[in-house]
């Protein structure tokens, strides 16, 4: 009898090796290589052309007719925003997030909304029985006639039911539980996830059915399985938020049919997820008035301006090396901005611990928040509060200059709508537009000028 050939595949990045190794040479993770038997069936690796279409020939791009894809809109404008205007027929969308964050709840609510419109929807539950799914549906007050639930993990049965029911929308919860019998590895392995996703992509493209698949995340927060999974799908959405907070944020990190910088905000309640129409007002409702170290910044999440509070606590260190901790923003920018304040402004921060946080559980990563972070640090260090009706926007350079930012008009309009009186922005952003009449816009060139405006002369 011929000896079976096997290979070792990293379950984190998909690296393949002929022998087992304790540490993956690609992603440098320990104990992630798992043995998988190599299939000897050559037909599984041969591309099968569509029998009725014949061979396709190259076409000139000028001869190809482009048509705008009709989108399926849900009753959740926040989800439509992240997807670029709605669900595109034939698209394959991957949703990842921590356990218990609300992925299944969100997709079950979307399935119910589409089913209420008369569209047959197939919900594949690989982790729960039909009775368990029904209990969640009862809690969410879901009772749609066109919503079909199938507790199945065999990919062949899933595809057969899709061809039988011919749904307009399919949910796979989750892709790590689906398996293909021809693949010898366990469900959730790299090979199973890759093969099952490839087959689902073929079904979605050939039949024009949008398929949403749920993906588990690793300890580092990335979707479990190889990065190839994210390359195969049309859109990748991350559902994030802290379990101790009721707010949930849906971010798009890849979207072939829209922007990748959009953000949708939901609130988890007893009856399911509800949209947050004005997130800026929600994030600022518990703000302490007159507290040192608090600054409001107007950040852009895609095309939406969001006003959030940045808090800083500066205290003398008791260690040889001062601590620099940040929650909700890039911790590498904290020592950088503190170095600029020490060198360009003269604040002695080398013996101070620094703790920074973005209130509300939001994560900010754009450079336009630099000036707000710097003012929060200086405000806490001087124990001097900035004005409660000030909003600060600007990128800080290493020489202490304030650099221009994008979409300044939308940021200022959001600040004026919430009743703020002043906005401190880069001087270069004042050119080419007219500020609103009900808010005072002040342009600054350096960090020192911004501190003089917000905290006064010192």
Is 360 assigned to a binding site? no
Confirm or deny that 207 is annotated as ligand binding. no
- Residue 187 marked as a ligand binder: no
Distance in angstroms (rounded) separating the CA atoms of residues 116 and 301: 31
The answer to whether 330 and 366 have CB atoms below 8 angstroms apart is no
CA gap 404, 393 in Å, rounded: 9
Distance CA 453, CA 458 (A): 11
| Torsion 400-404-406-407 (CA) sign | positive
Element housing 306 (H / E): strand 304-316
Whose structure tokens read 């009856």? 271
Cα maximum dimension of the chain: 87
Is there a contact between 83 and 180 (Cβ–Cβ < 8 Å)?
Answer: no
d(CA 138, CA 86): 26
Are the C-beta atoms of residues 172 and 183 closer than 8 Å to each other? no
Say if residue 397 carries a ligand binding annotation: no
Residue with tokens 């609300």: 102
Q: Is 294 annotated as a binding residue?
A: no
Tally of CB atoms within 10 A around 258: 19
Virtual torsion, Cα 147, 148, 150, 154, nearest 10 deg: -100
- With contact defined as beta carbons under 8 Å apart, do 264 and 82 qualify? yes
What gap in Å lies between CA 372 and CA 248, rounded to an integer?
24
d(CA 118, CA 114): 7
103 labelled as ligand-binding?
yes
User: Rounded to the nearest 5°, which phi and psi values hold at 36?
Assistant: -135, 140
Look at the chain and count its residues: 458
In the numeric block, the tokens 């129409």 are attached to: 277
Is 91 assigned a ligand-binding role in the annotation? Answer: no
| Cα atoms in the Cβ-side hemisphere of radius 13 Å centred on 252 | 26
Q: In what order do the strands lie in the sheet with 324-327?
A: 324-327, 352-358, 304-316, 294-301, 390-392, 422-426, 440-444
End-to-end CA distance of the chain: 86
The alpha-carbon radius of gyration of the chain (Å, integer) is 26
The reply, when asked if residue 14 is annotated as ligand binding, is no
Q: Which residues are annotated as a binding site for ATP?
A: 97-104
Q: Which residues are annotated as a binding site?
A: 97-104
């Amino acid at each position: 009898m011929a000896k079976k050939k096997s290979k070792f595949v990293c379950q984190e990045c998909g690296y393949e090796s002929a022998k087992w190794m304790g540490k993956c040479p690609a992603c440098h993770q320990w104990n992630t290589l798992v043995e998988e038997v190599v299939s000897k069936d050559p037909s599984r690796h041969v591309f099968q052309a569509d029998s009725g279409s014949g061979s396709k020939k190259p076409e000139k791009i000028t001869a190809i007719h482009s048509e705008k894809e009709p989108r399926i809109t849900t009753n959740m404008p926040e989800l439509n925003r992240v997807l670029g205007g709605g669900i595109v027929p034939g698209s394959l969308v991957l949703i990842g997030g921590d356990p218990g964050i609300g992925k299944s709840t969100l997709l079950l609510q979307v399935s119910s909304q589409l089913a209420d419109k008369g569209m047959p929807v197939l919900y594949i539950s690989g982790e729960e029985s039909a009775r368990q799914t029904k209990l969640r549906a009862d809690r969410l007050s879901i009772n749609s006639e066109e919503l079909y639930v199938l507790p199945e993990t065999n990919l062949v049965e899933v595809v057969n039911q899709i061809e039988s029911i011919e749904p307009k929308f399919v949910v796979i919860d989750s892709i790590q539980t689906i398996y293909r019998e021809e693949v010898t590895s366990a469900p959730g392995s790299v090979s199973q996830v890759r093969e099952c996703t490839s087959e689902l992509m073929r079904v979605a493209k050939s039949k024009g059915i949008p398929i949403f698949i749920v993906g588990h995340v690793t300890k580092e927060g990335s979707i479990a399985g190889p990065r190839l999974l994210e390359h195969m799908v049309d859109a990748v959405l991350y559902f994030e938020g802290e379990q101790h907070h009721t707010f949930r944020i849906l971010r798009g990190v890849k979207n072939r049919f829209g922007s990748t910088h959009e953000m949708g905000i939901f609130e988890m309640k007893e009856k399911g997820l509800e949209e947050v129409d004005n997130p800026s007002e929600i994030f600022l409702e518990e703000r302490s008035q007159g507290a040192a170290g608090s600054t409001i910044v107007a950040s852009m999440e895609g095309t939406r301006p969001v006003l959030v509070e940045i808090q800083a606590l500066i205290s003398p260190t008791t260690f040889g090396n001062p601590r620099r901790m940040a929650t909700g923003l890039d911790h590498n920018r904290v020592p950088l901005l503190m170095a600029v304040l020490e060198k360009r402004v003269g604040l002695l921060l080398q013996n101070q611990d620094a703790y920074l946080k973005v209130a509300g559980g939001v994560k900010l990563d754009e450079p336009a928040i630099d000036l707000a972070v710097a003012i929060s640090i200086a405000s806490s260090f001087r124990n001097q509060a900035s004005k409660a009706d000030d909003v600060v926007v600007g990128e800080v350079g290493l020489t202490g200059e304030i650099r221009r930012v994008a979409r300044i008009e939308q940021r200022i309009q959001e600040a004026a709508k919430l009743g703020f009186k002043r906005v401190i922005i880069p001087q270069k952003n004042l050119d080419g537009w007219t500020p609103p009449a009900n808010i005072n816009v002040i342009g600054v060139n350096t960090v020192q000028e911004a501190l003089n405006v917000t905290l006064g002369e010192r």
